[in-house]
Amino acid sequence: MIMAILSSALLLLVDEACAQSTYSVSISRHASLKEPLGAKEIRNILKDASTMLQKNSESNGDADVGCNVTFSLKGPIRTFGSASTSTDIVDEQHRDAVHKIDSNVAGVDFHIKIVKEIPFCRPGLQGPFDGCSFPIHFRSIIVVDPSEHKDSLPTNVKYPDHLLWAHEFGHLTGLPHRHSKVALMTSCPVVKLLSASRVQVDKEECNCLLGGPGFCPLPAAVLNCQP
């Protein structure tokens, strides 16, 4: 009996350690973008996001784990709107409309829409934003095009779009912000994670990421960035 219990416990540990999830994503970009991302650039962002999550676990227990999640582009890059339409700027009136664009694309786990600007995402948070995945039932993430980020960066330092996309996917699974300067789900702009030697995902967060969109309940409370 004891050996059976130990064997079952060992199997659970092995299953958890070997757990992995691969998510396919459709990409739609607004027609007004001056430097639209190509398929190769998008695949690189998704690859970098996957590599960041799959890092080796640290020796500090469950506070910083490797999370075997992979993102992959599926299908062609779609274009929506036109140079004269306002859906490239996502305000309160247009947010849901942008989330619904290409939501009927079949065979993908979630959708990413690339726009020029996001002044509004959800009540209780002050914009502008680099990304928005609220409300999560759309299974859609809206992100600012890399060429349109307004954050001040050192010379030759690129905005960490792979962290932004992974962060917003975290929200899509139901993950909230937390007060940390090194956590993927930081309540501060993800650009601040550039100063971290290692971006952290804890065990509970990894479980949500492995579970996928809507797997965890999104808390009603909203955390704002703390200095």
Q: Is 89 exposed, middle or buried (0-12, 13-18, 19+ CB in 10 A)?
A: middle
pLDDT-based confidence at residue 222 (cuts at 50, 70, 90): confident
**Residues 85, 172: Cα–Cα separation, whole Å:** 27
Domain boundaries defined on the chain? 21-211
Please say whether the beta carbons of 114 and 145 come within 8 A. yes
Look at residue 41 in the predicted model and tell me its pLDDT: 98
pLDDT tens per residue, range 121-148 = 998 788 899 999 999 999 999 999 999 9
Strands (E), 90-192: 110-115, 131-132, 140-144
Report the CATH fold assignment for 21-211: Collagenase (Catalytic Domain) (3.40.390)
